[in-house]
Amino acid sequence: MPKQKYYITTAIDYPNAKPHMGHAYEKVIADTLARWHTIKGDDVFFLTGTDEHGQKIEKAAQASGKSPKQFTDEMIIHFKNLCERLNVSYSEFIRTTDKRHTKTAVELFKKVMDKGLIYKGTYSGLYCTGCESFKTDKELQAGLCPDHLKAPEQLSEESYFFKLSEFQQKIIQHIEQHPEFIQPEAKRNEILNRLKEPLKDLSVSRTSFKWGIPLPFDKKHVIYVWFDALLNYISGIGYPTRKFNKYWPCDAHIIGKDIIWFHTVIWPAILLACDIPLPKTVFSHGHITINGQKMSKSLGNVVDPIEMIDKYGADAFRFVLLKDIPPHDDGDFSQENLVARNNTELADALGNLLQRTSVLIHKNFQGNIPVCGKLTQKEKELEDSIPKLDELNALMDSFQWHHVVEKIWAYINRCNKYVNDTEPWKLSNDPERLATVLYTLVEHLRIISILTWPMIPASAEKIAAQIGQKTGKLKDAKFTKKTKGTIAQPQILFKKIETKVQQVQSSVEQKAPAAEDPFSKLNLKVAKIEEVQNHPNADKLYVLKLNAGKEQRQLVAGMKEHYKPEELKGRLIVFVSNLKPAQLRGVESQGMMLAGEKDGKVRVLDPGKAEPGDQVYVEGITPRTEQMTIEDFQKVVLTTKNHIVIYNDKPLKTHNGPIQVELGDGAKIR
């Protein structure tokens, strides 16, 4: 049977400046999908590259005292370096200055013109250089481009026009008949709403600058950058050769949400005009934010992806992007969260599983994978926890890689539970059972190396090498009793990173402060409310069962007047974890839930995207673990500002961001 093909692309990057976090995120998404289809056994072609024409490049080159070609030749080094550092497995890197691309662009422009779909005219309008496109008054906000916050220039010039309007109904029909064409669904609806307005013909050439592909029949015109750039998706696979026929149509264009119009309206119209089938799916992802704000130099919150890779490693960086940024929306990136995930999910869960298994096999079997004996119910239950491949494939096909990561790590955590339950370090008097337990762990590590390869490829390959195996395909991700080999000497897979809180704690342990801040006695944690029950002896109280990460807690809370049980169940809260337990009307309360109160309105604190067990802290103050009293708590004055809970003008936060509450400024936290 011939392999099924899978063709995936990123948007091509505009190299007027060095790569940013958005470039890194999009590369990681596409690479994860490409690698997933590789281990499925598909024939994968993965295209990325750079969009090197246009006025923005021309101006950036002039500012640097270089020609546009010299400028772009130097800039693409940074983009190729980002791909290399991220371990991005692209098949081809296309540049729109490549001769093959220029040839394709000129041929197809002429083809569309010969069909009477391009004509000469004059264009007058508002032009945003940052977007390389004309803007309507409706698209502006207070007269500014919403993406670049600059007023567009009034421009009037001779231009060739593409009869975009002739394709409006065909595009609408295609979108309605192929719901998979635009993903996510919200973006599909957005485009359909915009298409209710009549389409205007598109200006597809420029005379106001020279850096572009000249029209052979009218050399004072260069092809409009968006007509030129979009064609990379076919020039990059050799249009119109056998290679093009093999891989087209594209299975997935991965793009940012700010260029979805070009990819789902202009691009389909160009393809229809060229008699080329439309791509199967255009997937639009959101932007990476910092504390809910878009990155910008003016805000001082720009993060350099190369710096993150240098500091934390490519796989930890890839992991947190895939785990924390929701595929269908904007999402926050934080170094604190990267450190936390590196230390828990990567080092503690995955790295420790490999380390313990390797050490025990070297100690008991001279580094050789032992022969599997009789399997018990424990082994069968662990085998049942292997994620179902059809479920994982369905999630990947619907661009929900974050849920794939969750399922794989739930399986990894189940493997760690198996270690704790079987206690192989106590089985030296039962060598056959010990062999079975350790073989089982090796076998599941082999499966884990396959499943994690798309997300953290370098680490997955290290796991496979450590247990003496090659990284396999998805079809190999099933338990077998036939695995043989030699375990390499144990090596640390992920090094733990010391956090600022830990550094402060270490400093405090070495040197006691002269005056202790009252807040330091407060140890606040995040918990999830699993159950809400009525207090048996009090009409205004609930008894809450909490998941606090590594432990379960019971709290008594006076929330009955303010929340229904269903409004609390499943909710993340902040609670005082080291408050001395107390009997409240005959029921023990093991801590205290925090809430804000203002003008008679009471709302519980919201820790955002944190997880049960996460630490809540104030920068520079190390929380203690010894028990405190209610009197100690009353010495701490917490209030609100801009919906954020603050202490001495500093925000309470987790590694995921600040703690918030749905109340105005000056609320009392109790």
**Which residues are marked as active site?**
20, 23, 128, 131, 145, 148, 294, 297
Reduce the DSSP state of residue 401 to 3 states and report it: helix
> Are 660 and 645 spatial neighbours (Cβ–Cβ below 8 Å)?
yes
Q: Which helix (H) or strand (E) holds 432?
A: helix 431-452
- Tokens, residue 102: 């220029």
| Sequence-distant contacts of 414-420: CB under 8 A, at least 24 apart | 414/382, 414/385, 415/353, 415/382, 415/385, 415/441, 415/444, 415/445, 415/448, 416/349, 416/352, 416/353, 418/378, 418/382, 418/444, 419/353, 419/356, 419/357
- Contacts of 534-542 with C-beta under 8 Å, sequence gap 24+, read 534/560, 535/584, 535/585, 535/587, 536/586, 536/587, 537/585, 537/586, 537/587, 538/584, 538/585, 541/584, 541/585, 542/568
DSSP H helices, 313-426, are 314-324, 335-341, 352-365, 377-384, 389-397, 401-422
Compute the distance between CA of residue 446 and CA of residue 172 in angstroms, rounded to an integer: 47
Helix (H) or strand (E) holding 175: helix 168-177
Omega within 30 of 0 (cis) for the link into 198: no
Task: Encode burial over 628-637: b for 16+ CB neighbours within 10 A, e otherwise.
Answer: beeebbeebe
Dig out the tokens for 186 from the structure: 């919200």
Judge residue 138's burial from the number of C-beta atoms within 10 Å of its C-beta, 0-12 exposed, 13-18 middle, 19 or more buried: exposed
Select from 608, 614, 624, 657 the least CA-distant residue to 345.
Answer: 614
Distance CA 59, CA 68 (A): 9
Task: Answer yes or no: are the C-beta atoms of 223 and 213 closer than 8 Å.
Answer: yes
CA distance 254 to 266: 16
For 435-477, the DSSP string reads HHHHHHHHHHHHHHHHHHTTTSHHHHHHHHHHTT-----GGG-
Phi, psi angles (nearest 5°) of residue 550: -85, 0
Measured in degrees and rounded to the nearest 5, phi and psi for residue 578 equal -115, 20
